[in-house]
Structure 1
């Protein structure tokens, strides 16, 4: 029996404000380059004041949301459980999700009072991205945001690692994972960011539990989680945490473990202008691939090509026609 949704995602709902800055700006404002840093509303306002916001692009985001939208654009049926407020940014967020074909748990009428979270994505000329995030109302994301019926009617659940930073978020991750396992829904998890593994390792281990079906991480996260000094050792150790996994390697492509063998995914050479969303795109495109009859190797190719296209432009997502072009290029779909 086919499921209604290919992927059901949970994660922080943030309006991404993507802007260009130089290294001097980061130095002047004492921003740690290349990392995601949680900030309060005052700090985010201070940074926003120093940036030309009018030249910035705006999109509904958060790591898992970017992946879910990617899967939807490729042709997947997707659902995203999130928490936004009934303010202007929240209304923008819900409309953007809908415009991208993603079902969700909230409407303008049911969104609670509060402030919608925002992520200031600062891109430097070397294509590095630095994020300062004010979580707003998504800091209170909890099990109440989970739609069990939609989850049970999905092939995969995709859990965002960033939720691990709060007790209520951690509880939502563990509850959603158990619901999925009880319903025979496959569990995919992304570590999201090296800082999530570095500072919340024990909590992340709680979420992983005995194992997950599919894990997404980069090389640094893999080595931090397994406590191994080389990626060769880390990938062997990861077999204990995940039945299958993807380790993204930036400009070097990715390696995939399909439960049996390792598959090297070649990168597509491009001039990177903005690495924001590359990992999210890889995960979303990969999830689309494996839920639409593609092998792990084929899904890896889709994800690699899609990621190369997203780093060659500003912002974390492709246009609909660009997603279709990726599939046409690889499989000559007519």
Structure 2
């Protein structure tokens, strides 16, 4: 092992989540589609934030949430993502480091502010996400920490960062670095990548052998594969990667590996409060178990258990002791 080596390093959006509760009527009044994710300009974000009720702020971003979970499970985690030299950038850096996640990407002094995601949680626990990516989409290949990537057993790439050209090139370079060091590359889809004009590039990357472990929810798998049912989507996608993982919400999750299919039920939750971060923590549990060389079924169970914890409270970061809950 390289001194200071990591179990997992993630590359993704460096975002601060601003979470507030609201009735369905608030979504209707502001033209928001429940459960969706849309991108906002800084001006649009300012207007929506002004209309929101009391909110709590916590560092977020899909892959960053996953690394918070990995660290909570006792593994060595790192994160690469771009913030600005501003108050939200300071909050993000402080939060990551306080959780035990190695974060050393220097802030940028010029350009857009640190990204934020305005999350509206309705009484049915659905979250509607409104993201202003800001500085996070300014990540370039030159700002990657090559030693961190080459030292990590797994490099985890976030789909939300794939769209813009500069961070897309950064992720492709990171995957190349990881494979040169004979490390595993994992990738999590976002629904925005599955629309025409984007999914072709994602499929090209996957078909080119750059991804070893692919995470998707059921809708994303169907959209990416252009399939009408889940079995058809799995038949198309699973031969392209070593491990395909599909999360299905209350229906549990499944994994395909070497032609072998494993399904697990969703872990029990007394009450679903907020589904923000469910997929992020599933990935955290799964990858942490994989780093501990657990079999596919146990990896899926660990993901389900970690996801169950985060949907039992507001926010996308774990609050309970994940080590006690998951027990890797």
Would the TM-score normalized by the shorter structure come out above 0.5? yes
1:195 aligned residue: 192
1:75 aligned residue: 74
Instruction: Give the Å deviation of 1:322.
Output: 2.3
Instruction: Give the Å deviation of 1:282.
Output: 0.1
Following the alignment from structure 1 to structure 2, what is the Cα–Cα distance between the partners of residues 216 and 310?
18
Question: Does residue 16 of structure 1 match 2:17?
Answer: yes
Following the alignment from structure 1 to structure 2, what is the Cα–Cα distance between the partners of residues 164 and 83?
14
Following the alignment from structure 2 to structure 1, what is the Cα–Cα distance between the partners of residues 326 and 192?
33
2:312 aligned residue: 312
Question: Does residue 43 of structure 1 match 2:40?
Answer: no
Instruction: Give the Å deviation of 1:170.
Output: 1.5
Instruction: Give the Å deviation of 1:325.
Output: 2.1
How many residue pairs were aligned? 323
Instruction: Give the Å deviation of 1:259.
Output: 2.5
Structure 1: where are the runs of 5+ without partners?
none
- Residues 255 and 262 in structure 1, CA contact (< 8 A), matched pair in contact too: yes
Instruction: Give the Å deviation of 1:195.
Output: 2.1
- Please list, as runs of the form range in 1=range in 2, the aligned pairs for 1:79-228 lying within 5 A after superposition: 79-106=78-105, 111-114=108-111, 115-191=113-189, 193-199=190-196, 200-211=198-209, 212-228=211-227
- Residues 72 and 321 in structure 2, CA contact (< 8 A), matched pair in contact too: no
Following the alignment from structure 1 to structure 2, what is the Cα–Cα distance between the partners of residues 74 and 98?
15
Instruction: Give the Å deviation of 1:258.
Output: 2.6
- Matched residue of 1:125: which SS? coil
Following the alignment from structure 1 to structure 2, what is the Cα–Cα distance between the partners of residues 80 and 213?
19
Please give the TM-score of this superposition, normalised by the length of structure 1. 0.93
1:279 aligned residue: 279
Following the alignment from structure 1 to structure 2, what is the Cα–Cα distance between the partners of residues 87 and 241?
41
Instruction: Give the Å deviation of 1:77.
Output: 0.4
Question: Does residue 232 of structure 1 match 2:239?
Answer: no
1:255 aligned residue: 254
Structure 2: where are the runs of 5+ without partners?
none
- Residues 285 and 305 in structure 2, CA contact (< 8 A), matched pair in contact too: no
Following the alignment from structure 1 to structure 2, what is the Cα–Cα distance between the partners of residues 145 and 21?
38
Following the alignment from structure 2 to structure 1, what is the Cα–Cα distance between the partners of residues 240 and 56?
37
- Residues 84 and 112 in structure 1, CA contact (< 8 A), matched pair in contact too: no
- Residues 284 and 306 in structure 2, CA contact (< 8 A), matched pair in contact too: no
Following the alignment from structure 2 to structure 1, what is the Cα–Cα distance between the partners of residues 8 and 195?
27
From the superposition, tell whether residues 234 and 216 of structure 1 become closer, same or farther in structure 2 (CA, over 3 Å): same
The more displaced of 245-254 and 164-173 is 164-173
Please give the TM-score of this superposition, normalised by the length of structure 2. 0.94
Following the alignment from structure 1 to structure 2, what is the Cα–Cα distance between the partners of residues 293 and 123?
36
Instruction: Give the Å deviation of 1:300.
Output: 1.2
- After the TM superposition, list the runs of 4 or more consecutive aligned residues in structure 1 that deviate by more than 6 angstroms: none
Instruction: Give the Å deviation of 1:40.
Output: 0.6
- Matched residue of 1:58: which SS? strand
- Residues 156-204 of structure 1, C-alpha deviations (whole Å, 9 max, x = no match): 100001112211121112111111111111110000x222212411221
- Please list, as runs of the form range in 1=range in 2, the aligned pairs for 1:21-40 lying within 5 A after superposition: 21-40=22-41
- Residues 282 and 304 in structure 1, CA contact (< 8 A), matched pair in contact too: yes
